[in-house]
Structure 1
Amino acid sequence: MAIHTWWLFVGAVFLVSGTPGPNMLHIMTRSVDMGLRRSVAAMAGCLSAVVIVLAASAAGLTTLLLALPGAFEVIRYAGVAYLLFLGVKAWRANVAPVDVGDAPIVPSLSRLAVFRGGFLIGISNPKLILFAVAFLPQFINPARAQVPQFAILVATFAVIEAFWYAVYAFGGRSLSRYMSRPMVKRAFNRVTGVIFMGFGLALLKVKPA
């Protein structure tokens, strides 16, 4: 892989990853509700899902998945259902004022549960599969060993994605300072819920290439 090809990939991924989506919104809301420190588990869950899907692309598994009749549709509708569920849950969430410290707002929710929620958000998004299948291979030089190239691209994507997770988490941490009033928190929950439901409905239009 030529260095200019890698830089093109870096630029494209930086813009794609920075665009608000379900992962970023989920991390920001976790940071608002639980504090910056506990939102790290959500970041790890989302990032694990991203790396798994991109690694599957390198192994050719996503191409096989898209070739199986009905497989993509199952994933797509599962993703839609999960995002709609999150939207309704956010809309109906508790409106207690946010504590700006890092103490957990939901003490019964373990780090494993926070990680699992992030992972489900990431893995249920079929757009990630389309990205892995249609976008990633364009930066691979077929005349050279493909495994090292995929490894470099996946690692690069993971670093950039993690950077944007941190940006959105810090944004949520800052936002929490303005949410000491239940009315503001309720408005935030409902806007978040509408956005999650919007993402879910948008997935209905996603079709495999």
Structure 2
Amino acid sequence: MALQTWWLYVTAVFLISATPGPNMLHVMVQSIHHGPRRAIFSMAGLMSAVLLCLLASAAGLGALLKAAPMLYDALRYAGVAYLVWLGIKAWRAPVAASDAADPRTPPSARALYAAGLGTGLSNPKLIVFAAALFPQFLDTSRPFWTQLGILVASFVVIETFWYSVYALGGRSLARWLAPANRQRLFNRATGLMFIGFGGALLGHRV
């Protein structure tokens, strides 16, 4: 892989990761509800999804999905259903008064990880990138595993940076969301955004 190809890849990943999507929204929401430290478990689930998608793409799953439209559609519909479910769950999330204790039981680390993993695997941006764009940066005339390691490590570093940015932003936003009416508005806006991401995935084909 030529250096200029790597720079092109890093630039593309940096911009794609920075734009708001299900992953970053999920990190911010978990940071608001449970704090940046517990949001780390959500980040771990999201990062696991990133690694699975990139490795699957490198193994040829992207080509398989293109060759088997029914399989791709099945995965796409499952992702749509999960994002819509997240949207409904966010819309209906309970709110707590600023002067009252939060009645919700904090989710376990395993639950946070599983939710992050599910969100990541249904993320339309990640699916499109892994299936359509990621393989384009692999030079077949050069050592495969070395290139794969560099590309995956670069993605992990950039993605972790943006997770941290959104998590810290969520911590700051949590103070503004203390009043119950603002929490309710945020929950409904978040719900609509997740449903919108589901709609985007429904209307897209690799």
* TM-score when normalising by structure 1: 0.92
What's the CA shift for 1:108?
A: 4.5
Match of 1:144 among 142, 145, 153: 142
Gaps of 5+ in 2: none
Q: Aligned partners of 1:27 and 1:157: how far apart in 2? A: 17
Letter in 1 for 2:95: V
Corresponding residue of 1:45: 45
SS of equivalent residue, structure 1 residue 31: helix
Q: Aligned partners of 1:136 and 1:33: how far apart in 2? A: 33
Letter in 1 for 2:42: A
The size of the alignment, in residue pairs, is 205
Corresponding residue of 1:107: 105
* Matches for 1:151-166 after TM superposition, within 5 Å: 151-166=149-164
* Matches for 1:1-209 after TM superposition, within 5 Å: 1-97=1-97, 106-208=104-206
The answer as to whether partners of 2:61 and 2:131 remain within 8 angstroms in 1 is no
Q: Aligned partners of 1:61 and 1:159: how far apart in 2? A: 24
- For structure 1, which segment, 110-119 or 195-204, has the greater mean C-alpha deviation from structure 2 after superposition? 195-204
CA RMSD, aligned part only?
A: 1.9
SS of equivalent residue, structure 1 residue 93: coil
Q: 1:79 to 1:183 in 2, by over 3 A?
A: same
What's the CA shift for 1:138?
A: 1.9
What's the CA shift for 1:124?
A: 1.9
- For structure 1, which segment, 28-37 or 65-74, has the greater mean C-alpha deviation from structure 2 after superposition? 65-74
Residues 83-110 of structure 1 show CA distances to partners (whole Å, capped at 9, x for unaligned) of 11111111111111479xxx99743510
Q: 1:187 to 1:16 in 2, by over 3 A?
A: same
Q: 1:26 to 1:145 in 2, by over 3 A?
A: same
Q: 1:37 to 1:98 in 2, by over 3 A?
A: farther
Q: Aligned partners of 1:36 and 1:50: how far apart in 2? A: 20
The answer as to whether partners of 2:96 and 2:103 remain within 8 angstroms in 1 is no
Q: Aligned partners of 1:45 and 1:137: how far apart in 2? A: 23
Letter in 2 for 1:93: A
Q: Aligned partners of 1:83 and 1:158: how far apart in 2? A: 23
Gaps of 5+ in 1: none
Percent identity between the aligned chains? Answer: 55
Q: Aligned partners of 1:192 and 1:125: how far apart in 2? A: 15
